[in-house]
Structure 1
């Protein structure tokens, strides 16, 4: 079982506040001994960026395919039992198993619940930028890199996500608006991993679709470490009334010609009736019409400490049916 401490986001409790990515916990996960996307219709207003045809680093982008995965944490079930339930419901394992780790956690060499058909994505919490940039964390970073070398398997690394929001110590607002400091920290960690030989790590840069504060200096573009340091351009977003296009089109248009796109953390508030299954169906179609999207990772939980919202894919029978329809589409890798 996981021991989790809340890292932030009181905004989830207020339904009137536009939703950002649900954010996260300290993890002590035990470490045990071609089908093409649908074309974009002419005049549809959809993103027109020419998609990348390769990329992704150690976890490669496969044109015409989408890895569908999740962070699974279900009330009353262990992580392993929750992931097994989803395997039985969907008829296949999660293509991406997403877990959260704090800055000083020992990153996992292996996790028993990650099958050989799944790729692990680690969301690794950051400290203040100076703690990285002044060199005082170099040994910690090197040890983390060595753990990944020992892991051997291709692994997605999502360091210091949602840096363009104001509720994390690694966010620009908490670091004197120093977006360049974030870039320097990302590049330093990337360099140390490379020097340690952690070539099995694929780097996911992952802002939130909605910057807070919404000011020019805090735009996610100002945090981009550069093409040399990013394998996947990820974006997170939790919808209230926004459509997938309202949340993700701008990000897609900005990066799809340069990097494969990952929707790295996503879910939707259930506003009653068919709102949640309809949103999932819309998300399904949005992905199919955006061929640079190579991965999508659902926030599949009902245990978030500050939220009354049930983010699970099976919160209703209709929601589960919509999600299963997406999962069984040939575009999504089984």
Structure 2
């Protein structure tokens, strides 16, 4: 570990997806998910596969089901996003969280072979990013994506103090990745911007706030921090035993100042056994959270591994007992479906209008704006709808449906349309899809039915068959 890895969990709103007659319904979907603005959901990271096995092991050790399971993926692997494993989590009411790392972990952080922020901004990774965006979109459920975490340290190549980077370059790269993923239809993603609780080095240019991408690009503010105890691997003679409050107090203040009102996720935390009483550390952490000392921390992800330190909750009988007793408090109850509602009652991250940033380097050729294949339609009801083909390939295409409220606010919406013969919807997201005969109907998801006057939201889908070449008529009410 180059320092703590990150575990973030976020909110999954309940959705029922009916595609080509197959209903994909979350376990317990009959229960109405809710979030009352209080409490802290539980997330976990373990280096175990498949992802459902992480939840099984945590449940066995802690006595509770996690609301979120997190895992890491390095860009150098160039692997597809594990859509089915993420769906399997959601089917159990667990929200997936993906930490997406633009690096090659086999190389040193300053190695010139590492992916660079400049390469990302210049578009050299666009094909890879768009492909993952389409896969995230096809997931069809909310998911947290944490990109470029711990940028204020010195152990990752995207750190603002390494490889010629600076905070502005990090912001440009973060926004570029966000916009490509969202442009691929992945409006189901909740974005977590995550800094380390302490900066390395400590300098004004390395303050986390300088690398904040902006409210339109962030759904969760994440903080990573650990109690490294006595004699950590990176300083065997040092004593760094620190309480949870000592690790996070100042970082929590920074998070609330940088992004007032945004929910906070402790994306990675754990305690060493060396140098103090780990069981007492865990008890105090959970008691402080349950007492409401950190009201904006809505998700706590535990780094549950025996790695550089004995981080795992099972590192000692006392630690395990303290954790199980603490998380039994109702403050920590709740499923991933409830967690998904923390971000709010709208589509997780609306696509912002990018603000061009002057740069001395060549500007990559922009991706052409897709041409709508329909005109805004709809009867005297409360909304209009437009269908746009975002991309196509032999045997299939990806589409987006933008629904816009008319002059008055609405609390729900439904749109219907007919696609070319022999075309079938294979997967959809940010809406409840059903097909009867040749007509496809999309109803709002639980989080995007309420729209203010003239406000818009978007649903998306992947279809097999030929993309429409002419106007598609949509009804909207």
TM-score, normalised to structure 2's length?
Answer: 0.55
Question: Is it true that 1:270 corresponds to 2:273 in the alignment?
Answer: yes
Unaligned ranges ≥5, structure 2: 14-33, 103-114, 230-240, 335-477
What is the CA-CA distance between 1:244 and the residue it aligns to?
1.8
Choose between structure 1 and 2 for higher RCO, CA contacts under 8 A separated by at least 6 residues. 1
Would the alpha carbon gap of residues 191 and 133 (structure 1) be closer, same or farther in structure 2, given more than 3 Å must change? same
1:138 Cα deviation (Å)?
1.5
Quick check: 1:202 aligned with 2:190?
yes
Aligned pairs for 1:276-315 (under 5 A) are 276-288=278-290, 289-302=293-306, 304=307, 307=308, 309-315=309-315
Deviations 1:125-154 (A, max 9, x none): 023211210011112111111011111111
CA distance in 2, matches of 1:177, 1:140: 22
1:68-217 maps to which residues of 2 (within 5 A)?
Answer: 68-73=42-47, 80-103=52-75, 104-111=78-85, 114=89, 115-126=91-102, 127-217=115-205
Structure 1: which 4+ aligned runs deviate by more than 3 Å? 56-62, 77-83
Equivalent pairs, count: 279
* 1:15 equivalent in structure 2: none
Match status 1:218 vs 2:218: no
CA distance in 2, matches of 1:294, 1:221: 20
Deviation at residue 314 of structure 1 after TM alignment = 1.1
In 1, distance between residues paired with 2:270 and 2:197? 13
CA spacing shift, 1:61–1:203, aligned 2, 3 Å: farther
**Pair 1:327 & 2:315 matched:** no
> Using the alignment, how far apart are the partners of 2:167 and 2:310 within structure 1?
33
Which structure carries more strand by proportion?
2
- The 2-side partners of 1:180 and 1:287 are apart by 34
Q: Bigger radius of gyration, 1 or 2?
A: 2
1:318 Cα deviation (Å)?
0.9
8 A Cα contact 2:117 2:165, kept in partner:
no
Deviation at 1:226, TM superposition (A): 1.0
CA distance in 1, matches of 2:64, 2:11: 25
Shift of 1:204: 0.5
Does the C-alpha gap of structure 1 residues 23 and 121 become closer, same or farther in structure 2, counting only changes over 3 Å?
Answer: closer
Cα-Cα RMSD: 2.3
| Residue equivalent to 2:423 | none
Q: Unpaired runs of 5+ in structure 1?
A: 1-7, 10-19, 25-55
Q: How does 1:232-251 map to 2 (within 5 A)?
A: 232-239=220-227, 240=229, 241-251=241-251
